[in-house]
Amino acid sequence: MSQQYEVCVFGAGPAGVATALRLADLGLSVVACDRRSDKHAWGGESFTGAIREPLLALGLWDDFLAAGHVAGYEQRTMWGEVGVADSLFNPHGATWHVDRGRFDKDLRMALRRSAVSIVGYSSLDVLRRDGGLWRIGLDQRPEILASYVVDATGRARAVARALGVRPRIYDRLVALTAQVPRNRAFDRTMIIQSMANGWWYAAPVPRGHVLAYFTDSDLAPREWTRRMRMFAANSVFTEVPEGDGWLSVGDACAAHDPLCGWGVHRALDNGRRAAEAVCAYIRNADASKLALYGRHCRDQFDAYLEGLSERYSYERRWREFEFWRRRLRVPAVPSNKTEPANEIEHAIAAAS
């Protein structure tokens, strides 16, 4: 027998959990569809101290503090010039170097403690709109019915792909990652250093140090791809047609170059914004907040692209190398002639 909900949220990462929890707080019936996957997060990630605000709003800050993530007090950079930044002068406080697997697990645990129904699945077999309802078929089981659908499936963009909505793709950036034993000399320090065809990131995490080399998929050293794990890290934006009964949040909407450091913060914050817009639409037939949400995401991403171009422009030593030539073009424009995402997916598959 079909089960009916007001909202179906696909994905249980930061954006999906934030959206689903806020929808439940607003009194809507919600189901979260969490796709089982053998893929894991790339091990480590750094959040600015501003992450406290959205986690507090979602009631998740205490869980975050109890998880054993590493508070970082120093950032060393060699990006155009050598620099050292101390968190004592940061109004948001320490940077948090996070075990991303533990962070995502805690988010799912919070979802399980909530009033949100959770359905695990392997394949999305049916997704079609029938009048005012979505019909959703998962793993050949009875259909789920929902008035509204949220795509929070990250870079997979499962809902957008199923509905034939193509993203705007701006570059081919990938991360080659590895975990190494903890270096006590850099126990609370994040390091960022530019190189001829990319840049390095190193930071402490609870189980050691995470290293990541960022470059373009076609520039990645072949011998490194055999020894390190590869993940997509490029800038992507998905424009959702207004009035179609669905929207996207988090990386499914706007995926960021990790250099910006705000991806998870924006996923949590925009998930809450999206939930409030969807609630207004379902309860009061008020589509104005949906329009505002879409405009907010577009404006935010445009500002991000400008800031990203500016950040890359600080490094001039490597301007003759292809990686930097691509990023010193201003303004950044999406690729319309090719599909770099497919190239990235193929490169990642070949390295797996």
What share of the chain in percent tops pLDDT 70? 91
Per-residue pLDDT at 346: 56
> Nearest 5°: CA angle at 147, between 141 and 165?
80
Per-residue pLDDT at 206: 83
For the stretch 4-48, pLDDT in tens is 999 999 999 999 999 999 999 999 999 999 997 766 666 678 999
- Given a cut of 90, is residue 55 above it in pLDDT? yes
pTM of the model: 0.91
DSSP annotation string for 178-191: EEE---GGGTTEEE
More confident: 70 or 1: 70
Q: How far is Cα 247 from Cα 238, in angstroms, rounded to an integer?
A: 10
For the stretch 185-228, pLDDT in tens is 788 899 999 999 999 999 998 888 999 999 999 999 999 988 89
For the stretch 265-292, pLDDT in tens is 999 999 999 999 999 999 999 999 999 9
For the stretch 219-267, pLDDT in tens is 999 999 888 999 999 999 999 878 899 999 999 999 999 998 889 999 9
CATH T-level topology, domain 3-351:
FAD/NAD(P)-binding domain (3.50.50)
The CA-atom distances, in angstroms, between 249 and each of 99, 105, 123, 206, 336 are 22, 19, 20, 29, 23
Per-residue pLDDT at 343: 60
Q: How far is Cα 131 from Cα 146, in angstroms, rounded to an integer?
A: 11
Encoded tokens for 308: 């990203």
Per-residue pLDDT at 317: 93
Residue 32 CB coordination number (10 Å): 29
